[in-house]
Amino acid sequence: MADKTATLTIEGTAHELPILTPTAGPDVVDIRKLYAEADVFTYDPGFTSTAACDSTITFIDGDAGVLLHRGYPIEQLAAKSHFLEVCYLLLNGELPSAAELEAFETMVTRHTMIHEQMHNFFRGFRRDAHPMATMVGVVGAMSAFYHDSLDIHDTRQREVAAFRLVAKMPTIAAMAYKYSVGQPFVYPRNDLDYASNFLHMCFAVPAEPYAVNPTVARAMDRILMLHADHEQNASTSTVRLASSSGANPFACIAAGIACLWGPAHGGANQAALEMLRQIGTPDRIPEFIAKTKDKSSGIRLMGFGHRVYKNFDPRATVMKQSADEVLDLLGVHDNPLLQVAKELERIALQDDYFISKKLYPNVDFYSGIILEAMGFPTSMFTPIFAVARTVGWISQWKEQLADPQLKIGRPRQLYLGPTQRDYVEIESR
């Protein structure tokens, strides 16, 4: 029983509601029995004030700009760790020992290939299909090939499914890219680390050797790490909702990918790059900024600000460092698009209007710049996000299935339609 309670008075009747206290973050009013006791629902479009679950995976303090994975600050993980270690942390709750990490990396590395028959799925899509469309279909179809990891009630099968998804998602994303540009698929290599292997599968061709630059690989690893999990966002909540019905893991992750596809979510970095293309050259920035200040223009500053982080995005600080490193390495400072990005960042950070609105460059702004410099088309930005977020989805999925309080998700509504009326025969209408 909670030590604290809140009293809600409805038409003169008082209802005591327990207040649950988290290890961090605001208290939570427990309304689970409100409908049964008071015959009322709560109204919260977008669920922005609703805790739909309890979790031990990720904590965000939007006001303070804090992001913790299992208690570890994202800044420390980005500086000292790498993506697969963060994967282990998210999946298992603790940082691995050296032996545990080696075993985990070996397991993931040796499961990166996909069933050869799955190659036929790609050939069924048009070449100009968006890679996300391809990924939704192929990931959902994994349930047709991996029958030994579909039983969600079997702990071992859940572990196998987790490994398969983390290991195979980069392969599927890279194949979707290769198919879209008309190039042959490149098989994964066990001698490369996770990020390097992904870059190799995307950019290698049979005609010549391809060597992954360590700085570029490190930047890709950071992109993956910084997008690994972000608490109960739209796609994660979608995965949890799909999972609550008992759906198999591959169907749940396909649902997450479909939700991530939206431009307001996973497509934010693509939208930021498209905005930069719209601006065109640095001299047009003042005109563009003036339009963003005019609400009637319908023009928004993409890649700035965040729904949760109110002062700064802790991931953006790390991503900016990688952006500077990659741009310096690749010598793309003469690229007009990237010139626009740098100048827009400088102006926006000094403009009183954007400062007052707390519109600072977020992780999507910098990740888009890096991916553009690496040579990825904007259509691949969201698939790369999906590769990164898979481990977060799977961690949340595993946690939910282990929850003894698990029940199928069933939001309610404020009904504003017509009340009961009688059917009118067509001759009388």
Please tell me the pTM assigned to this model: 0.91
β-strands 28-29, 13-20 pairing: antiparallel
Decide: 178 and 185 in contact? Cβ < 8 Å. yes
Active site residue 306: yes
Gyration radius of the chain's alpha carbons: 24
In the three-class reduction of DSSP (H, G, I as helix; E, B as strand; rest coil), residue 413 is classed as coil
Element of type H or E holding 28: strand 28-29
Active-site annotation holds for 111: no
Q: Is 277 helix (H, G, I), strand (E, B) or coil?
A: helix
How many Å apart are CA 227 and CA 385, to the nearest integer? 7
| CA dist., res. 52 & res. 411, Å (int) | 10
Instruction: Tell me how far apart the alpha carbons of residues 369 and 247 are, in angstroms, rounded to a whole number.
Output: 37
pLDDT at 336: 77
DSSP, residue by residue, 197-259: HHHHHHH-BTTB-----HHHHHHHHHHHHHTS--SS-HHHHHHHHHHHTT--HHHHHHHHHHH
Q: Which residue has the tokens 């599968």?
A: 201
Q: What's at 287, amino acid-wise?
A: E
**Residue-by-residue pLDDT tens, the chain, 429 positions:** 458 999 999 999 999 999 999 999 999 999 999 999 999 999 999 998 999 999 999 999 988 889 999 999 999 999 999 999 999 999 999 999 999 999 999 999 999 999 999 999 899 999 999 999 999 999 999 999 998 899 899 999 999 999 999 999 999 999 999 999 999 999 999 999 999 999 999 999 999 999 999 999 999 999 999 999 999 999 999 999 999 999 999 999 999 999 999 877 777 777 888 888 889 888 899 889 888 888 888 888 888 877 788 777 888 888 888 888 888 887 766 777 778 888 888 887 888 888 888 888 888 888 888 898 899 998 999 999 999 999 999 999 999 999 998 999 999 999 999 999 999 999 999
Name the catalytic one among 193, 221, 313, 364. 364
Length reported for the chain? 429
Which residues make Cβ contacts (< 8 Å) with residue 408, sequence separation at least 6? 244, 245, 246
Strand (E) or helix (H) holding 9: strand 4-10
Q: DSSP letters along 293-357, please?
A: H-GGG----TTB--SS-SS--HHHHHHHHHHHHHHHHHT-TT-HHHHHHHHHHHHHHH-HHHHHT
Q: Which pLDDT score is estimated for 333?
A: 66
Of residues 306, 328, 334, 422, which has the active-site annotation?
306
192 Cβ contact partners less than 8 Å away, ≥ 6 residues apart:
200, 212
Strands 4-10 and 13-20: antiparallel
Query: Closest by alpha carbon to 166, among 269, 86, 243?
Result: 86
Domains and CATH numbers, the chain: 4-51 (2.20.28.60), 73-261 (1.10.580.10), 268-374 (1.10.230.10)
